[in-house]
Structures are given as structure tokens and as C-alpha cells.
Amino acid sequence: MASPRRNASHGAAAAAQSDSPTCTAATPRSRFAAELSTEAFDEPGPGEVPPAKESVTATVRFRPLSSREIRQGEEIAWYADGETVVRSEHNPNIAYAYDRVFGPTTTTQQVYDVAAQHVVSGAMQGINGTIFAYGVTSSGKTHTMHGDQRSPGIIPLAVKDAFDIIQETLNREFLLRVSYLEIYNEIVNDLLNPAGKNLRIREDLQGTFVESIKEEVVLSPTHVLSLIAAGEEHRHVGSTNFNLLSSRSHTIFTLTVESSPCFESNEGETVTFSQLNLIDLAGSESSRAETTGARRKEGSYINKSLLTLGTVISKLTDGKATHVPFRNSKLTRLLQSSLSGQGRVSLICTVTPASSNCEETHNMLKFAHRSKHIEIQALQNKIIDEKSLIKKYQSEIRRLREELEQLKRGMFTATPLKDVTEDNTILWKQKLEDGNVKLQSRLEQEEEAKAALLGRIQRLTKLILVSTRETQTTRSSQHPGTRRRHSFGEGELAYLPHRRRNIIVNSKRNELVIPMEGFGEALEMSPKEEKQNRKGLLNWFKLRKRDSGSATLACSDGGNSRLTKSLTAPSTRLEDGINFLPEQRTWNSMLDENVPADLLSVDLGKFPSDSSPVEDMLSVQSVSRKSEILDDVDLLREQLKISSGETVLHSNVVNHLTEEAGISKMNKQIEQIASLESQNAADSQGKADTLELAPYYAEILKQLNEKAFQLEVKTADNRILEDQLEKKASECEELQEMVVYLKEQIVQALQIDEFLPERIRLQLQTGISRDVGSQVHNDKPLSSVVCEKPLEYTSQSEVDELKQRLRELTEAKAQLEVRNKELLEESTYARGLASAAGVELRALSEEVTKLVKQNEKLASELASARSSTPRRASHSPRAARKGSHVERHEPGGKRDTNPSSQREQAMEMVLAEKEQREAELEKKIEESKQKEAFLEGELANIWTLVAELRKAEGNCQDDSVVIHDSVVDHEP
């Protein structure tokens, strides 16, 4: 069995020897396609010959003369003599042979097929590979390596090819990782991680590596291209005399490939491991370059490292060299393992034919020619190492699957019931119900665990790339002799700049010209636009709409448009795939590593083959684009689901961690401290004002307290007064009752009088009145007293006396009645007075309450005035009041317009009113006191009257007794 690797190693050379004037991609492609059979991964058997030695593939790519060079009248100094030789125009003896020489109209795809594809396919089989573009500044290195949408460079083509290879390799699994770095002024920076600056180069048994460089596991060409576009954003670019946007750093894009057979047992399984380095070197600068400052420094670093690279290559090709100075520059140090023969190397020497760069170009050609003689051995790197990432993922997936299986088994294993008899049926039923509940919760838990496991398996599985083709279709069933090439989708092209740096400064006329690729035509574009263009993805998105507009304009330009030309140019087949539609989606969302691998792979059936006619291709491409869009929509949906799930998970974790770390506690404390601080600040601000107003406020408080105390005393006095008044009123009532009683007695007495002689009647009346007095005193009923009295007869004189006495008594009685009436009136008056006093007191208390409220209001106003007044003059409140008073009354005095002093004045007025009110209240209290005194005097008078009455009654009683006695004495 012939080793496919041997075929591969000679791919480039074979192509170089082709007689065909144009590069037909079919030959190399078919050869490399043959390598993609599973046999390519087979180890050489015991009797097999190890892979033959290969040499570095050296190719030369001419670019067309730029508009600037044409305008400057530059002549052609170098030209391609056939497909393998470069000759000097000035000296026919100077000629160099290479594996292949590409003319100015060759497309990058053609360059890729010859100079890069065998390296890429080798890398997919475990053979390290390095491809780099080398040349003077502005010779087309970046154009060749990165390219643009119309002409994707070696890097995007390689990436696309790598994924195509995965798709076509049926029984192997792949894990791809990428890293992207730049060497700027001998400093290594990570372009995928802006924080990764000045990284160290380290060495281990497997070779040199960059410490802490970020490696991203990638899932699709779009994913990789987006990473490169993001990395390009950080690359150092600057304008030079020859290139407005010249690369000022070397970049190394590394694709790390791990692969292992799909369905074999894990034990002793072979994993291949390789690295594909795609290098865009900074251009060497001629001594003629008028650079200064930073550019000069950059230029010297670039030249030094390129010189070291030249030295290393010459030493490697010189069989006698004992020491190869790899360590003299970071570039050669990093390329050490590649250049020292452990993998395939392809050098693409980019050349400008212009005579102005004749000497530099000559050096480049010499260098490329020499490097062709470096011998390499394309060995497959095999690792039986459990530490390989793909192995790790695979064993993790296996473990998780086993766990899942166990879980599933556990979930559905149920213990059968034994001994179910009729007696214990109820018991079993109960047990079953209990068990059911428990089982339910366990099932739920296990379901959750299962879902988590499945999710993890899914995520890990997605990182491992496998072909989505179900059955192995032989190449013969497709297009014999060719391997399917997948055109770039819109999503992938989105990550390439719309147009590369086709800007060349015309230093004489100070204008910018952009030659169209392959045609040398120029299109005006501002440096700003070009810079944006150069910046990659995001800026490209911004420009895209306008670009589409300009494309429409150009197409409608009578069919002479440059764009129309370029789109239909037969040399740029990929250009047909360019779509100027407005952007349809955000590609950044595809960067998540959870994207399903099956969705990422391109459906082969939907892409046109190389041999398809252009018309067919366009129609099929529209179908393929549609399916791509559908795929991408599915993919985005899937990813959105995963992302949202993960977001929730992450936020939960973050919350949990935050709680754990006691951040919330700390925050609370910080808030407390902040509030205390703010309080403190407010306090200190108000302190000054408080100090000023304190005595004033204290005085008001004192007054208030005094008034409250007085009010309390007055209320208590009032209560006593009321009690006394009530007592007196009840006494008055008793007196009235007595008077009424007396009247009745008199009336009765008068009725008896009608039947008795006058004397007896008089005696009786006297007796009655006397008895009534005593009986009233002894609380006996008057009638009984009257009945008990014996009738006695008196003499005429005595009768007269008695009559006289009666008259007197009647008069006294009348007087008494009058007096009684007066007393009654007085008591009513006193009562009215008392109630008036009560009302007065109530009003007084209300006044005091109002006063208290006013004081409170005043105090609050004072406080607010204090807080709003930033600073006040340090005069006392009274003085201020006085002052404001004076101010108010000052004729023609200036009015204070300050709002705080106005407020002060208002407060002072309120205070004055309050004082006035207090005075009024005091007056009223005085009046009520006087009324009280008057009432008391009146009461005293009543009491004396009552006393006098009693006294008079007592006399009357004595008199009646005397009369009674005399009546008895004169009885016959």
C-alpha cells in the first residue's frame, strides 16, 4: 500500500513542474483528496518504508503593478519565465527556479491549491505544517495570507478546507483549537486576548510554545474567521511610504488539530496531534524608506527578525552548520520546530515586479530559492496520551454516558411485591402509597440529574467535530478526480474585509489610489474608509450597506462598472459567491462553543462542484445560501436556548457566590457607613445654625413650659370652684323646697282657721309655725305636728297680740319669700357665672393648646429655616428680631431680599402675635379670677343670708312657743 503521505509531499513540486500555463486546481486537489481516505491515518506497518524526505515548498507570487507604480513610470524589473522560473528583466543571467511561480493574474485559490493545500491536509492527518508569506513591504503578503471578500486569502481557505476535510473523513473525530499572536518589536502579544501582552516563549519536550496564550476550541469556519477578525482588530498596523496600512508586526495563526478514530475502544487508541501555523510576516523595509520615530524602530525590529530568519534558513540548508541561531529572534524561536524539519513548510514569496524595489526583491528571491533546499520529514505526530484534550473530552463523555445509563436503570428498577395475600392487602396498599410519594420525588430528582448529565454530554460532544455524512460516498460517485470544494458562505465572507488595503499613497500628488485586483484599476476611497475597512468584521458590517449601494450603482453603470467586471471575471471564481445583501444576523452569537457540530458542518450536496458551469453555480448557490441561512437560524435558536440556560445557571452561581462571599453584608455595612457619613455631614452643617438659635429656642420652650404649668394650676382651681358652686346650688334647692313646704303649711293653717275662733286659730298658726320649725328640724311631717297640738283658748288681747304677731309673721314670711326669691335669682346667676367661668376656662385651655401647637410649628419652622440657611450672622434671635423690627419700620430702609431673612421676619411676626395673644390670655385669666372672687363673695353673702334666715326662724319658733304657752294659760 503506497503511503498517501508520500504523494502529498510531492504535491507542490508536481504542480510546479506542470506545463500548463494556468494552474488547474484539479491535479493537486485530486491528489490531496486521495489523502483524505481513512488510510491516511493508518500507521506504517512493520515492513513499510518511513515517509520520504521532503523539501520546503517555495513559490513566488507576483502582484500587478499598482496604479501608483504605473503613474510613477516604474518599469518591470522581474518577470515569470514559465511556471517555475523568475527572471531579471535587466540581467538575463539571473534566474531562479521554484516549485511554482504565479503571475499577477493568478488567484489566491490557485496559490492555495499549489502552495498550501498539502500542508493543510497534512495537518489534518497529524503532520505539523507552516505556511508563510515573505516579501518586501507592499508586495502582497497580507493580500495573500488574509485576502478579502473577493479573494479570500490562504488563512480563510485553509480554515474552510480543514472543516471540509473533517466532513469528508467519516470515521475520525476531531478537536480543533486556534490561537493568534503577533510579534511586535520583539514582543509577543495575544491577539485573541487583548490582556495577553508580552508573553513568554517557553520550551518543553515537544518544542517551543507561548506561555498563557489563549486557545479557543472552534466549531466552524465562521467561528474561526470571526476570531481572526477580532484578533486583527488588535494587530499593529501603520502607514509607511509604500503602504498606508502596512503590517508592523508578524502574525502567527495556529490551528491545533487533534483527531482520533470514532468507534474504536478507548484503550490504546491513537490520537494524532498537529499544529498548522499560518504566518503573515511584516514586510522588510529598504534603507530608502523615509521613516522616522516609531516607524523606524518598528522597521529595524522587522528587518532584524527577517534577517535572522534568512540566516536560520541558510544555516539549515548548509549541511556543515553546527549552530542554527533560532534564539536570535522571537520569530525564529517560535518557528524552530517547523523549520528544523518536523513538518511541512511552504514559503510563498510575494514579489512586486516594480524596478524601484529591484534590489530588495532580488534578496527575497534568493532567500526563497535557498529555503527550497531545506529538508523536512513529514512525520505524523501520534500521541497515546490520556492528557490530550480530545481524549479527555471523550472519556468524560463516556463517563457521563455511563452515569446516565446507571441513572436510567435506577429509575426504572422496581422491587416486586411478594406475599400479597388478602389479609395484608390493606397494609401493602398503604405501603405502596407511601412508596409512591417517595418514588415520585426521587424520580423528579433523578430526572433533573439526568437532564444535567445530558446537557453536559451534549456540550462536550459538540466540541468534538465529526462528519455528518451518514454513508461513505466514494469520490468516483461524485466528480472523478476532484474533491468537493465548498464555496464561502455569506456568513464566512462577513469576517473578511470587503477590500484589502489596496491603497497606495502617491507621495508626489498626495492622493490615494486603489487598484482593482488583477486589473490595475483605481477607485477613490478615503483613508478613513480604508482604515475602517482594514479593521475587519465590525467595521465591515458598518460599511456593508453602503457597499451594497455602491455595488448597485456600479452595476447599473452601463455594464462598464469595475465591480461588474470583477464579479464576472473568470479568474476569480469565488467572487461569484459574494453577496452584497444587507446583513442578516449577528455572527458574534455563533462564537459560543456550544454550537452543535452537526449544524456547523456544510452540507456537501448543496454546493456546486468546480466543474459546474457558472449559471448552474449561481442557481445552486442561491439554494445553498438559503439552506445555510436556515441552518444558521436553527443554530442560533439552539445556541440561544443553551446560552439562556447557561446565563441563568451562571447568574445563580454568581448570586450564590456573592452571598457566600458576604458581599451583600459588606454592601449593607458600606451603606450604613455612607448614611452615617451623610448624617454626620448634615449634622456638622446644621451645627453652626443650631448654636446660634439655641438660646432663642430654649427661651421659647421655657415660656411654653411656664404657660402649660399655669394652665394646669388654673384648671385645678376651676375644678374646685365648680365643686363649690355645685354644693351651693344644691343647698339653694333645699331652701327652695323648704319655702314651698312652708307655704303649704300656711295654706293648711289658713284652712283650719275658718272653723276655729280667731285666737285659737292664731295659737294654732303660731304653734304650727313653731312646730313646723322644730319639726322641720327634727324631720317630722308638719301635718302630724299640727294634729298633735291641743287647742287652747286665749284672751282678746292675747288674740290681738297673736294677730299682730301673725301679721308680723306674715310680713316676715313675705320678706322671706322675697329674700328667697332673691336668693334663688342669685344662685341662678351664680350658676350661670360658674358655667360661664367653665366656658371661659375651656376657651383658655383651647388657647393654650393652640399656643402649644403654634410653638411646635414655630419650632419646626425654625428647624427648617436653620437647615436651609447656610450661614447666618451671629446675632441673638432677639437682637435679630429687634433688628428686623427696626428694619421693617425704617423709613426707606433697604428691604432684605434674602429668603431666609424674610422667613425670619415672618417668624418674628408670628412670635410677636403669640406674645400678644399670651397677654390677652393673661388678661382673660385675670378677669376670670375676678369673676371667681366675685362669685365667692356672692356665695358668702348667700351663706350669711341663709344664716340670718335660720336665725330669724329660730326667733320665730321661740315666739310661737311663748304664744302657745300664753294660749294654754288663758284656757278656761
Ligand X SMILES: Nc1ncnc2c1ncn2[C@@H]1O[C@H](COP(=O)(O)OP(=O)(O)OP(=O)(O)O)[C@@H](O)[C@H]1O
Binding site for ligand X (CB under 6 A): 63-64, 66, 135, 137-143, 243, 246-247, 282-283, 350, 500-503, 517-518
DSSP secondary structure string for all residues of 403-441: HHHHHHHHHH--PPP----STTHHHHHHHHHHHHHHHHH
- Write down the least CB distance from residue 550 to ligand X, Å: 18
C-alpha to C-alpha distances, 177 to 867, 895, 899, nearest whole angstrom: 67, 83, 73
Q: Is 609 annotated as a binding residue?
A: no
DSSP secondary structure string for all residues of 369-401: HHHTT-EEE-PBPEE--TTSHHHHHHHHHHHHH
- The DSSP letter of residue 895 is P
* Cβ contact 378:8 at 8 Å: yes
- Write down the least CB distance from residue 45 to ligand X, Å: 45
Give the type of residue at 547: D
Q: Which residue has the cell 389479609?
A: 423
C-alpha to C-alpha distances, 270 to 36, 61, 381, nearest whole angstrom: 17, 39, 10
Query: Which one, 138 or 775, has the nearer CB to ligand X?
Result: 138
Query: Which one, 32 or 134, has the nearer CB to ligand X?
Result: 134
- Write down the least CB distance from residue 55 to ligand X, Å: 25
For CA atoms 207, 213, 218, 220, the dihedral sign is: negative
Of 548, 582, 583, the C-alpha closest to 567 is 548
Instruction: Quote the CA–CA distance of 797 and 787 in Å, as a whole number.
Output: 26
Query: Which one, 141 or 372, has the nearer CB to ligand X?
Result: 141
Q: CA angle 394-259-190, nearest 5°?
A: 95
- Write down the least CB distance from residue 302 to ligand X, Å: 8
Give the type of residue at 435: G
- Write down the least CB distance from residue 515 to ligand X, Å: 6
Query: Which one, 500 or 914, has the nearer CB to ligand X?
Result: 500
- Write down the least CB distance from residue 136 to ligand X, Å: 7
Instruction: Quote the CA–CA distance of 351 and 726 in Å, as a whole number.
Output: 130
Q: How far apart are the first and last CA of the chain?
A: 188
Give the type of residue at 425: T
Query: Which one, 61 or 484, has the nearer CB to ligand X?
Result: 61
- Write down the least CB distance from residue 223 to ligand X, Å: 25
Q: Is 142 annotated as a binding residue?
A: yes
Instruction: Quote the CA–CA distance of 710 and 845 in Å, as a whole number.
Output: 10
Query: Which one, 105 or 377, has the nearer CB to ligand X?
Result: 105
- What SS3 string covers 481-528? CCCCCCCCCHHHHCCCCCCCCCCEEECCCCEEECECCCCCCECCCCHH
Query: Which one, 139 or 905, has the nearer CB to ligand X?
Result: 139
60 class by beta-carbon count within 10 Å (0-12 exposed, 13-18 middle, 19+ buried)? buried
- Write down the least CB distance from residue 110 to ligand X, Å: 11
Of 170, 148, 167, the C-alpha closest to 157 is 148
Instruction: Quote the CA–CA distance of 944 and 942 in Å, as a whole number.
Output: 5
Query: Which one, 505 or 693, has the nearer CB to ligand X?
Result: 505
Q: Is 664 annotated as a binding residue?
A: no
Q: Is 138 annotated as a binding residue?
A: yes
At residue 919, φ and ψ (nearest 5 deg) are -60, -45
* Cβ contact 84:97 at 8 Å: yes
- Write down the least CB distance from residue 240 to ligand X, Å: 6
> How, if at all, do strands 95-97 and 100-102 pair?
unpaired
Taking CB atoms within 8 Å and a gap of at least 24, the contacts of 323-329 are: 329/186, 329/304, 329/305
- Write down the least CB distance from residue 543 to ligand X, Å: 16
Q: Is 136 annotated as a binding residue?
A: yes
- Write down the least CB distance from residue 545 to ligand X, Å: 23
- Write down the least CB distance from residue 236 to ligand X, Å: 11
Query: Which one, 575 or 689, has the nearer CB to ligand X?
Result: 575
Query: Which one, 135 or 608, has the nearer CB to ligand X?
Result: 135
* Cβ contact 754:764 at 8 Å: no
Query: Which one, 141 or 214, has the nearer CB to ligand X?
Result: 141
Query: Which one, 134 or 326, has the nearer CB to ligand X?
Result: 134
Query: Which one, 296 or 687, has the nearer CB to ligand X?
Result: 296
* Cβ contact 592:639 at 8 Å: yes
Query: Which one, 66 or 775, has the nearer CB to ligand X?
Result: 66
- Write down the least CB distance from residue 129 to ligand X, Å: 21
Taking CB atoms within 8 Å and a gap of at least 24, the contacts of 68-74 are: 68/504, 68/505, 68/506, 68/513, 69/352, 69/354, 69/356, 69/504, 70/520, 71/506, 71/509, 71/513, 72/356, 72/506, 72/508, 74/354, 74/355, 74/356
Residue 128's region, left for phi above 0, alpha for psi from -120 to 50, else beta, is: beta
Instruction: Quote the CA–CA distance of 533 and 517 in Å, as a whole number.
Output: 16
Query: Which one, 11 or 518, has the nearer CB to ligand X?
Result: 518
Instruction: Quote the CA–CA distance of 451 and 449 in Å, as a whole number.
Output: 5
- Write down the least CB distance from residue 263 to ligand X, Å: 45
- Write down the least CB distance from residue 43 to ligand X, Å: 40
Q: Name residue 791's beta-bridge partners.
A: none
Give the type of residue at 697: Y
Instruction: Quote the CA–CA distance of 826 and 514 in Å, as a whole number.
Output: 126
Q: Is 274 helix (H, G, I), strand (E, B) or coil?
A: strand
Annotated binding-site ranges:
135-142
Annotated binding-site ranges for ATP:
135-142
